[in-house]
Amino acid sequence: MAVETKVESNVEVIKRSSNFLRGGLAQELALDTPDVSGESEQLLKFHGIYSQDNRDVRRERAQAGVALDYIFMTRVVIPGGRLSTEQWLALDGIATSVADGSLRLTTRQAVQFHGVLKGDLRQLAQSLDRQFLSSFGACGDVVRNVVTCPNLHLESGQGHLEGIALQLRESFRSTSEAHWEIFVNGEKAASREEIEERPFYGETYLPRKFKIAVSHPSDNCVDVFAQDVGLIPGDHPEAGAGFTLVVGGGLGRSYANADTFARLAEPLTFVTNEEVEEVIASVITTYRDLGDRTDRKRARMKYVVADLGLEAFRSEVEGRLGRRLRAPIPLPSSFDADDHLGWRPLPDGTWQVGIRVGAGRVRDDEHSTLRSALRHIAENFAVTFFITPQQDLIVSGLREDDRNAIEALLVQHHVRLDGELGNVERRALACPALPTCSQALTESERRLPELVSGLEGALAARQLGRRPLQLRMTGCPNGCARPAVAEIGVVGRTKSTYDLYLGGGIRGDRLASLYREKVSLDDIPDILGPLFDRWGAEGESDEAFGDFLTRVGVA
């Protein structure tokens, strides 16, 4: 019987022939055309840029026989989500000068600009570079933005972890000079030393993207089990301070491939602070060598771990590391998932305030002038901004004397304060989806408010309005807002329907189960009504909805 020979994907061919991510990008950017070739579209992702079109006018333009309304999304790498006031003001200026007037905060603590024209991509990159920011490595088959719990920066006793996001970013970023040459400087600068690409990337980089998150010892706001590599700080009885390292998580899947699935990461080992980088490097090289380069829908590291099994995967890592891995310590028993909203005192005597940003979209509109409020804060107060993994924003370092002024400013700009938020609203996440994302099957961000309102109404009708409820919504099964671990996950299935997942763990430690397929968004509150009735009648007073559904066997 003939043995099927698998052929590497076209993206692998593009990467290998790209001269370390250069390809023909410089030449295409110089052309007076609104779009780029398919090959350059793939390479742009490594530079943090996605080629898109305005899908709201796609059909209209096609019927008129005119070209698509080509636009680009640029994602900015912000390790740990930390920004100075100068950096925030620069990002705010970019939103006006070359984007659609908004900044979008992501679940990976990055900032996205939408609606950018091809001719403005260089200007955007140069503006970022002046503030020591970059979009390079925000997308593509590399280690993405490193996510950390904001409390690692802000809470007393975690000072040794404050810079870990930047440390890991520097250790695992691509060293190709392509981005500088093409987008920032315009040509290869003689003063910049040519640096070889990191050996764990090589000329074809990784099979797919690679995500790292660092949780707080008692707070899993980062969804550490949804990552390729997750780090949970702890103390080993013999080795001392370090991390439980978990591997093989990932939530995306494909409707067109039944062999794809969501998966939670498993504990692989305990590493000390000094060992963490070399062990992650060995995990990355294992993935580089064993990941599927023929089918990108099944190329994530979670499938390597799932197919091999954890023990065989550990052996592969040990072979590349050159020594045995230490056994992991028990996982924390008191994991929570803080939303970081509201006023909180800091150990140095200053304050922070966590501000809800609906679906992460910072803008001025008829409901609120949040963007103007944040600009005023950045211009007039000595603070630090932290983007949270819930798409919200923390303003940190405020003096006690500034609290009343900040609160009055937020009220003046119609920014709703912590106590005014509904219990579904304050935890709800959504991906952008239509009209910009090319992968979206249906709406997400734009219809999140009405779904939140419907669920909060259903809860209020049952006197359950004070109970927290976690909702996450995406326009496709790629899982950018992490619905696969939500108490209620709503995932776009067709142009007008969604799949409904229930029972995820509010602490990010349990996958949701498929409850209904292809339901209308308008029907979801009524579908959940009987379950809310049972939750109110049979659930414990402090029992989370996902925990209840799991306990009674619904999910």
Contact at 8 Å (CB) between 394 and 412? Answer: no
**Alpha-carbon gap, residue 43 to 543, rounded angstroms:** 47
Instruction: Determine whether 149 is an active site residue.
Output: no
Query: 483 is written with which tokens?
Result: 């619905």
Q: Which of 144, 169, 302, 426 is catalytic?
A: 144
For every residue of 267-331, DSSP letters joined together read: EEEEEETTTHHHHHHHHHHHHHHHS-SS-GGG-SHHHHHHHH-HHHHHHHHHHHHTSPPPPPPPP
Contact at 8 Å (CB) between 436 and 54? Answer: yes
Q: Which of 476, 482, 493, 507 is catalytic?
A: 476
Handedness of CA 317, 320, 325, 329 (dihedral sign): negative
Q: Is 286 exposed, middle or buried (0-12, 13-18, 19+ CB in 10 A)?
A: buried
Three-state SS for 63? helix
Instruction: Determine whether 476 is an active site residue.
Output: yes
Contact at 8 Å (CB) between 214 and 149? Answer: yes
State phi, psi for 177 to the nearest 5 degrees: -90, 10
Contact at 8 Å (CB) between 45 and 140? Answer: yes
Instruction: Determine whether 431 is an active site residue.
Output: yes
For every residue of 77-138, DSSP letters joined together read: B-GGGEEEHHHHHHHHHHHHHTSSS-EEE-TTS-EEEEEE-GGGHHHHHHHHHHTT-B-TTS
Three-state SS for 184? helix
**Is the peptide bond between 267 and the residue preceding it cis, with omega within 30 degrees of 0?**
no
- From the list 371, 468, 356, the residue with the least C-alpha distance to 423 is 468
Contact at 8 Å (CB) between 182 and 151? Answer: no
Instruction: Determine whether 437 is an active site residue.
Output: yes
Query: 472 is written with which tokens?
Result: 């996450």
Q: Which of 82, 173, 208, 211 is catalytic?
A: 211
Q: Which of 15, 431, 447, 467 is catalytic?
A: 431
Contact at 8 Å (CB) between 507 and 220? Answer: yes
Residue 431 is which amino acid?
C
**Alpha-carbon gap, residue 427 to 340, rounded angstroms:** 10
Residue 227 is which amino acid?
Q
Q: Which of 139, 149, 221, 437 is catalytic?
A: 437
Query: 203 is written with which tokens?
Result: 């000329």
Q: Which of 209, 263, 288, 300 is catalytic?
A: 209
Instruction: Determine whether 320 is an active site residue.
Output: no
Instruction: Determine whether 446 is an active site residue.
Output: no
Three-state helix/strand/coil letters over 247-262: ECCECCCECCECCCCC
Contacts with 225 (C-beta within 8 Å, 6 or more apart), sequence order = 246, 249, 264, 265, 485, 508, 509
**Alpha-carbon gap, residue 313 to 21, rounded angstroms:** 30
**Alpha-carbon gap, residue 32 to 121, rounded angstroms:** 13
Q: Which of 173, 480, 493, 507 is catalytic?
A: 480
Active site residues: 75, 144, 209, 211, 431, 437, 476, 480
